[in-house]
């Protein structure tokens, strides 16, 4: 292992590393959401209900949870840059496999994409920690996280357009182009970026120790549990927006995709806005509670939308909804770092994110199941609002425990 791996961060590489990691996360999110953006077309071809796209997303994140358990070990063993290449390659392969018009191959494709997704963040965190200034690390990591909603913008804008111009299979197959391009570009940087890899590092480290750490610390426990419910809201909005607009509000597919892109852009703004507000107030958990209370009210407002509403009004409501529904997790991750015991930030973040991913896994599938007993996708958002309020209650419990702990010191 080089001295740079354990000493001060290496200067001069931050812009390139930040560009690469943000690009990889953007591509990950875009690939994950491409099927959601054209769900009606894929569902028709496969002979299934568009509502089952929620099950597909849950399968994808099941793959992500699986690979996240070994992502840290793989990163140390082969290097963060090579791990990112593996992830990007899995995105392209998943896109190609998904073009086969069969439910089982589509399930396989979802798992492949998910396996790549789970490798992305451990590798990105390793690179950014190694190559960024600690004094600006919060801003650097926050910028990297904008890749998730930016990927939604890409998916919402490109997937429906490519489907109309060609077909849904071509749209998915074209994911191979940026995948191969990314692998080649990353190879140029690999000799320097993977200089700290260790061939003797174990492939697998136990995730249960990290989960136990979070569970034993009450503020961390309740904050992480709140994220389970907030991630449900985030994924339901991201996954079902296009299908809801097309099926319930009779909006054309391309228009619905552009509206989804606008929603994701507002999510980017929300991540920056709420981070600024939390810093100004000095109250991260309170900021989360306030914004998510508003988000719950807006989720309930979605149930009121009707086909006769003008498109600009529907878009405005969904964009306001997305400010909180997609913008919460930057402040959340900052609070996990703040609440973590000294020297345990990485472990606490890993354990908390495992619980967060559980919500991602559960949410879309639960939404699909609820839709079977509700008349529209719109009405199903009432349940989303109720679950989000549970998350708000958990945040307030976490804040109470954190204040008690602070007074006891």
Range(s) for CATH 1.20.1250.20 in the chain?
Answer: 11-192, 206-404
Instruction: DSSP for 127-193, please give it.
Output: HHHHHS-GGGHHHHHHHHHTHHHHHHHHHHHHHHHHHHHS-HHHHHHTTHHHHHHHHHHHHHHHHHH
Mean pLDDT along residues 37-48 = 87
d(CA 260, CA 271): 17
Give residues with Cβ within 8 angstroms of 190, minimum separation 6: 79, 81, 82, 85
Give yes or no for a contact between 247 and 377, defined as CB atoms under 8 angstroms apart.
Answer: yes
Per-residue pLDDT band at 149 (split at 50, 70, 90): confident
- 346, pLDDT greater than 60: no
CATH 3.40.50.1820 fits 206-404, yes or no: no
CA 187 from centre of chain:
25
Residue 141 confidence (pLDDT)? 67
d(CA 169, CA 41): 10
The superfamily in CATH containing domain 11-192 is MFS general substrate transporter like domains (1.20.1250.20)
The chain-wide mean pLDDT, for the chain, equals 86
Mean pLDDT along residues 244-270 = 89
Residue 2 confidence (pLDDT)? 39
Residue 60 confidence (pLDDT)? 87
Closest listed residue to residue 228, CA positions, set 138, 370, 323, 332? 332
Residue 4 confidence (pLDDT)? 40
Residue 11 confidence (pLDDT)? 54
Give residues with Cβ within 8 angstroms of 135, minimum separation 6: none
Which of 67-76, 77-86, 314-323 tops mean pLDDT? 314-323
Residue 7 confidence (pLDDT)? 39
Mean pLDDT along residues 1-9 = 40
CA dihedral 96, 98, 101, 104 (to 10 degrees): 130
- 6, pLDDT greater than 60: no
**What's the pTM?**
0.73
Tokens 């789970």 locate to 118
Closest listed residue to residue 266, CA positions, set 208, 222, 326, 314? 326
Question: What is the percent of the chain with per-residue pLDDT over 70, rounded to a whole number?
Answer: 90
Helices 39-46 and 103-131: crossing angle, nearest 10°? 140
- 28, pLDDT greater than 50: yes
């Amino acid at each position: 292992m080089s001295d740079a791996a354990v000493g001060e961060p290496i200067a001069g590489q931050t812009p390139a590393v930040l560009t690469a990691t943000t690009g990889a996360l953007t591509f990950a999110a875009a690939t994950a959401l491409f099927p959601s953006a054209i769900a009606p077309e894929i569902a028709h071809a496969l002979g299934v209900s568009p509502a089952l796209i929620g099950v597909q997303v849950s399968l994808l994140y099941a793959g992500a949870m699986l690979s996240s358990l070994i992502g840290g070990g793989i990163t140390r063993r082969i290097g963060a840059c090579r791990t990112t290449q593996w992830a990007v390659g899995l995105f392209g392969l998943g896109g190609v496999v998904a073009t086969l018009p069969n439910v089982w191959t589509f399930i396989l494709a979802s798992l492949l994409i998910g396996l790549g997704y789970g490798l992305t963040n451990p590798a990105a965190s390793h690179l950014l920690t190694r190559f960024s200034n600690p004094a600006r690390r919060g801003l650097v990591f926050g910028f990297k996280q904008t890749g998730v909603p930016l990927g939604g913008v890409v998916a919402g804008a490109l997937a429906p357009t490519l489907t109309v111009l060609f077909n849904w299979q071509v749209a998915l197959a074209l994911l191979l182009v940026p995948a191969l391009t990314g692998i080649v570009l990353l190879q140029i940087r690999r000799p320097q970026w993977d200089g700290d890899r260790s061939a003797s590092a174990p492939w697998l480290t136990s995730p249960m120790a990290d989960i136990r750490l979070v569970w034993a610390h009450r503020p961390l426990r309740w904050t992480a549990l709140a994220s389970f419910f907030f991630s449900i809201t985030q994924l339901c909005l991201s996954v079902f927006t296009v299908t809801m607009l097309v099926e319930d509000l009779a909006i054309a597919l391309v228009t619905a995709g552009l509206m989804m892109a606008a929603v994701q852009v507002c999510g980017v703004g929300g991540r920056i806005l709420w981070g600024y507000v939390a810093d100004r107030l000095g109250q991260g958990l309170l900021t989360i509670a306030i914004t998510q209370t508003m988000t719950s009210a807006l989720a309930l407002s979605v149930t009121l939308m009707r086909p006769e509403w003008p498109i600009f009004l529907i878009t405005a409501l969904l964009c306001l909804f997305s400010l909180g529904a997609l913008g919460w997790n930057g402040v959340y991750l900052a609070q996990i770092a703040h609440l973590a015991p000294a020297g345990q930030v990485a472990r606490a973040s890993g354990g908390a994110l495992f619980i967060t991913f559980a919500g991602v896994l559960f949410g879309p599938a639960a939404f699909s199941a609820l839709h079977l007993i509700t008349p529209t996708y719109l009405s199903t958002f009432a349940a989303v609002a109720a679950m989000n309020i549970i998350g708000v209650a958990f945040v307030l419990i976490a804040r109470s425990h954190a204040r008690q702990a602070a007074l006891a010191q």
